[in-house]
Amino acid sequence: MSVLSVSDIGISFGGLKAIDGVGFSVEAGEIFSIIGPNGAGKTTLFNVISGLYTAGQGRIELGGQDVTGLAPDELAARGLSRTFQNLQIFQRMTAVENVMVGRHLREKCNLFADLFRLPSVSRQNATTRDAALALLDEVGLRADADKLAGSLSYGACKRLEIARALAAEPRVLLLDEPAAGCNAVETEEIDALISRVAKKGVAVVLVEHDMKLVMKISDRILVLERGCPLIEGTPQQVLADPAVLEAYLGKHGAREAARA
Amino acid sequence: MPRWVRHRYASLVVLAVVIALLPLLFPSSYYYRVAALVWVSALAAIGLNILMGKAGQVSLGHAGFFGIGAYAVAIGPTHLGVPPLASLLIGAVLSAALAYLVGRPILRLKGHYLAIATLGLGVLVALVITTEIRWTGGPDGMPVKKLVVFGWRASGADTWYWITAGMLLIGTWLALNLDDTPTGRAFRALHDSEIAARVAGVHVDRFKLQAFVIAAVYASLAGSALALMNGFVNPDQAGFLHSVEMVTMVVLGGLGSVIGSIVGAAVLIMLPQALTVFQEYEHLLLGFLIIVSMIFMRDGIVPMLAKLPGRRA
Ligand SMILES: Nc1ncnc2c1ncn2[C@@H]1O[C@H](COP(=O)(O)OP(=O)(O)OP(=O)(O)O)[C@@H](O)[C@H]1O
Ligand SMILES: [Mg+2]
């Protein structure tokens, strides 16, 4: 049974349809990629699935339960986690604190216990910090644990977001362009990291412009064009489809590419 | 830098030592009074700093809660026969309740809109205080009965120095505690990115409300302490200018810095006393100093000192 199932999603901004009739489903441990030209609606689709936008139509199921229209924090509690294309890190907190916030739902949080810093709070804090450090290790940021997140490089922030998203121990992980702005070595690391995460049984939905990365690690790919689904299939099927080439290069470019 | 400086309670210990030793330098009881004023203002500022510096939400009406605390210890004993200490607690509960009820709708607002809404709240409280003359004495204010605990009368500048210092130490301790806990992290997270906080499962509305209520209770207790110390209350304590003064203490000392709030309060209380020699130019000079310090120390006094070469906070 699929962990995440999205059907017939549609959303418009001021009469303009940004997404129209998009649907897909992802199994546990699968890497499902969504690709498409700039402005195709990939980020918007993530925003709908994670509850930041309310879709005009469609249905979203998480673990078989209807979660359409739920708020982001409720979705998080049901096992959905994500990263952002335009970084959303907690700049004035240290790297390890960023990841600790990711464990918010796994922590007991009581205002009075925290104000008086009861022994249980200190104990829990130590556990949370250890878990966060292990995740920073996993994304290669262990040495930067106590640096302010705002002082980290772009590529480091991207990986910090992944660590924070993983801290919630999600069932479904949405990654919006995790390799953007990363050099070749960093991209390799992210590639390996995503594969490891999926192996642990997390359903990964990946939006990424780096085609080499996408073709290498994806189990299935959905191509979007101007908010509409173009084709869904394995990397081979997608690569072989002339409509995909056309969407990326335009009619003229596709003809050129076919001739070449 | 020695390791103890990084300890969570390092600043608390420094504060306790300063409080204990300061009276040795006081030539007269007048200094006890000025210092007690600083402690009271600092208490209110620390609370407001949890809201503004940690959770990143502005309040331009916080003197309203200060006023509720002040008038609670004035009205309770005088009109209702409630003992002062119980009145202080009732004032804090009323402030918390008002913050909770009003905070729910207005904390959904952001930036300037939240500023205006909180300003409205403060104006409203001040208006009630000035118009309910039968209860509050109106614009003239009203006397406050002395604090009596088990037959012991709290009076004299030195006595109030120690009482307010004790309150400040507790307030500082609680604020420092909060920093490295799930609640404190949630405050700071929603300050930096509400979206990311929500997606991480943080109940953003609930935490904003908690920060607002905490700040209201701090202000209310500070207001009660000041009223009991002075033996008198007047509506200015709930007024807009006082709200602005509180915000200035927080920003000047350093947003998010607990010790900064104490330093900010000290500067804002003591500077006018020091500037009285300039007579009519006093306020002009005070305004000028605030402008200059904001230009050159945008992060506030304490964070700026902490950043000086060779030091890290
Ligand atoms: N909040 C919004 N208000 C109005 N229009 C929006 C909003 N969000 C997205 N859009 C529009 O929806 C369309 C899809 O944008 P989206 O960011 O989802 O594309 P994308 O596939 O993520 O592109 P990229 O590859 O550049 O990240 C764009 O035309 C964009 O202008
Ligand atoms: Mg995008």
| B-chain residues near A121 (CB < 8 A) | 181-182
**Of the residues A123, A138, A164, which one is the last residue of a structural domain?**
A164
Question: Residue A61: inside a domain, yes or no?
Answer: yes
Whole-structure pTM value: 0.92
Q: Are residues A199 and A253 in the same domain?
A: yes
A88, A90, A168 ranked by CB distance to B201: nearest: A168
In whole angstroms, what separates CA A165 from the centre of its chain?
A: 8
Question: Residue A84: inside a domain, yes or no?
Answer: no
Q: Are residues A113 and A224 in the same domain?
A: no
Per-residue pLDDT of chain B (313 residues; tens, 9 = 90+): 566 667 888 999 999 999 999 999 988 888 999 999 999 999 999 999 999 999 999 999 999 999 999 999 999 888 898 999 999 999 999 999 999 999 999 998 988 889 888 998 999 999 999 888 888 888 888 988 887 777 777 778 889 999 999 999 999 999 999 999 999 999 999 999 999 999 999 999 999 999 999 999 999 999 999 999 999 999 999 999 999 999 999 999 999 999 999 999 999 998 888 877 777 777 787 778 778 877 888 888 888 887 776 544 4
Identify the helix (H) or strand (E) that includes residue A131: helix A119-138
The Å distance, Cα A184 to ligand 2 centre, comes to: 21
- pLDDT class of A138 with cuts at 50, 70, 90: very high
Q: Are residues A74 and A146 in the same domain?
A: no
Q: Are residues A72 and A182 in the same domain?
A: yes
Q: How many helices (H) and strands (E) does chain A have?
A: 10, 10
The ipTM of this complex is 0.91
Give exposure, B229-268, as e/b (b: 16+ Cβ within 10 Å).
bbeebbbbbbbbebbebbbbbbbbbbbbbbbbbbbbbbbb
**Of the residues A130, A164, A198, which one is the last residue of a structural domain?**
A164
**Of the residues A104, A132, A164, which one is the last residue of a structural domain?**
A164
**Do the chains contact at B202 and A73, CB–CB below 8 Å?**
yes
Q: Are residues A252 and A132 in the same domain?
A: no
Q: Are residues A73 and A93 in the same domain?
A: no
- pLDDT class of A177 with cuts at 50, 70, 90: very high
Domain that holds residue A16: 2-79+170-259
What does the pLDDT read at residue A151?
Answer: 94
Q: Are residues A29 and A59 in the same domain?
A: yes
Q: Are residues A250 and A182 in the same domain?
A: yes
Say whether pLDDT at A184 is over 70.
yes
Rounded average pLDDT over A81-93: 95
**Any idea what the Cα angle at residue A216 is, between residues A3 and A29, rounded to 5°?**
20
Q: For tokens 């103890």, what's the residue?
A: B4
| A85 close to ligand 1 (CB < 6 Angstrom) | yes
| A170 close to ligand 1 (CB < 6 Angstrom) | no
For chains A and B, count residue pairs whose Cβ atoms are closer than 8 Å. 99
Q: Are residues A10 and A24 in the same domain?
A: yes
Query: Minimal Cα–Cα distance from A232 to chain B, Å?
Result: 28
Question: Which three-class secondary structure state does DSSP give residue A202?
Answer: coil
| A42 close to ligand 1 (CB < 6 Angstrom) | yes
